[in-house]
Amino acid sequence: MSQDTLLDKVWDLHKVSRLPGGSDQIFIGLHLIHEVTSPQAFGALKDKNLKVKFPDRTVATVDHIVPTDNQSRPFKDNLAEQMIETLEKNCLEHKIRFFNIGSGNQGIVHVVAPELGLTQPGMTIACGDSHTSTHGAFGSIAFGIGTSQVRDVLATQTIAMNKLKVRQIWCDNKLSKGVYAKDLVLHIINELGVKAGVGFAYEFAGPAIDELSMEERMTICNMSIEGGARCGYINPDEKTFSYIKDKLCAPKDEHWENALKWWKSLKSDENSIYDDLIKIDASKIEPTVTWGITPGQSIGINQQIPLLDELSPNDKLVAEEAFEYMNFKQGQSIKDIPVEVCFIGSCTNGRISDLRIAAKVLKDKKVSKNVKAFVVPGSERVANEAKREGLDQIFKDSGFQWREPGCSMCLAMNSDKLIGNQVSASSSNRNFKGRQGSPNGRTLLMSPAMVAAAAINGKVSDVREFIN
């Protein structure tokens, strides 16, 4: 069992009691809600005649169902309109702060909370969304929960949970040029597999992680869940503190000094004990692309899709399914596979630095005429900053459509969907069957820079050929 890791420290701090069944009752410091997984939780409160215990510890925004073309109300989609209205009503009734469309602070919940300074080291953070692991980039212990647990957090500010084991993933050396956080995390998931993280929190550490910006660290922790780990985190450092400083909800004045003092004490001890340790050499990683139907089925841009015979019996079963679904051949190069849709956005890669990198690739270039390309900023703040820097214009000039913030085609709950068996190059996080809105649509996950390169060439390409 792990000892003296950040997870141990934060867990112990937030432990309210040991429950009769043997799991722990854990206090949730920050609860984030959105329109998809909260209505039934509020409904359950009503059924049980319960109130929200600490309304000021829950913050809401709307992201999954929002249209990205025309956000005027009422939404064209009646069901989407009903969902946003329900969230508005619930927040009003229970006095929960809601960052609605047009507030300047709306966006994907995992983009919004960090950029407002709500996400801070040492907190426990929960949200009815599996990508809550994103917030671990700040040294918080953050995890996705289901709707029944959303109900429990609303009613009690606590949940019942078994303590997670801790696996440290030590990333040596540095990423090479044209290789990004997305490539690193796809590589890690490929190495360890999509279920290796079950029962674990992943602690990402080492020189390659230290080197990353906060937004890149969020990309890494975001995808912990794709490796099976409900929670992923990085010990906070000076980069963490300076990212938070002066944000809207960050501690101010003398509180800032107190916060800083406490945050600096928060990290895994040098001689802490882990349940498992893994080493990765970051310098050997190439731009990475998925070819199958799980985020673990990825290869470097210059590699070939594996042969079935090379795979372990377990991997083989899913690979067979992937070949049938994707209609790719064993041994085929991933490079030059034609793409029809290019999507830049999501809680994984929809932040300002992602847009900057993609815009740099796209500047003075044109999107292939066979490609429909669109960019969905992660939040209103991201969109506004991009416009201030003129990035929106670079995207538009290249042939990308510039959209309004939301989750969009990461999970296709709005009208942004693949059609038929289209192949998409996507900066999102899941290449599951049907994930992007068409029951036979095909998703290739990659970094935003690689999506930009694919958009220009109309096929999977090595972005390093576009950057000097």
80 in contact with other proteins (CB under 8 A) = yes
Contact pick of 112, 113, 161, 209 for other proteins (by CB under 8 A): 161
71 in contact with other proteins (CB under 8 A) = no
165 in contact with other proteins (CB under 8 A) = no
36 in contact with other proteins (CB under 8 A) = yes
State in angstroms the smallest separation of the CB of 326 from other proteins: 14
Q: Is residue 249 classed as helix, strand or coil in its secondary structure? A: coil
331 in contact with other proteins (CB under 8 A) = no
Q: Which of residues 409-428 bind other proteins (CB under 8 A)?
A: 411-413
As a whole number of angstroms, the distance between CA 71 and CA 93 comes to 24
Q: How is the beta sheet containing 30-33 ordered, strand by strand?
A: 97-99, 58-61, 30-33, 124-127, 141-144
Q: Which of 249, 274, 186 is nearest to 2 (CA)?
A: 274
State in angstroms the smallest separation of the CB of 30 from other proteins: 8
8 in contact with other proteins (CB under 8 A) = no
Q: Are 125 and 140 in contact (CB under 8 A)?
A: yes
Contact pick of 76, 195, 264, 387 for other proteins (by CB under 8 A): 195
21 in contact with other proteins (CB under 8 A) = yes
The H or E element spanning position 170 is strand 165-172
Q: Which of 127, 121, 123 is nearest to 139 (CA)?
A: 121
As a whole number of angstroms, the distance between CA 229 and CA 163 comes to 13
Cα Dmax for the chain: 64
115 in contact with other proteins (CB under 8 A) = no
Which one of 52-60, 268-276, 328-336, 418-426 is the stretch in contact with other proteins (CB under 8 A)? Answer: 52-60
120 in contact with other proteins (CB under 8 A) = yes
State in angstroms the smallest separation of the CB of 357 from other proteins: 26
Q: Rounded to 10 degrees, what is the CA torsion of 406, 409, 414, 420?
A: 170
Q: Which is nearer to other proteins, 3 or 23 (CB)?
A: 23
Bridge partners (DSSP) of residue 206 are none
Supply 309's token pair: 């015979």
Contact pick of 242, 314, 332, 370 for other proteins (by CB under 8 A): 314
Q: Which is nearer to other proteins, 173 or 421 (CB)?
A: 421
As a whole number of angstroms, the distance between CA 435 and CA 442 comes to 8
State in angstroms the smallest separation of the CB of 130 from other proteins: 4
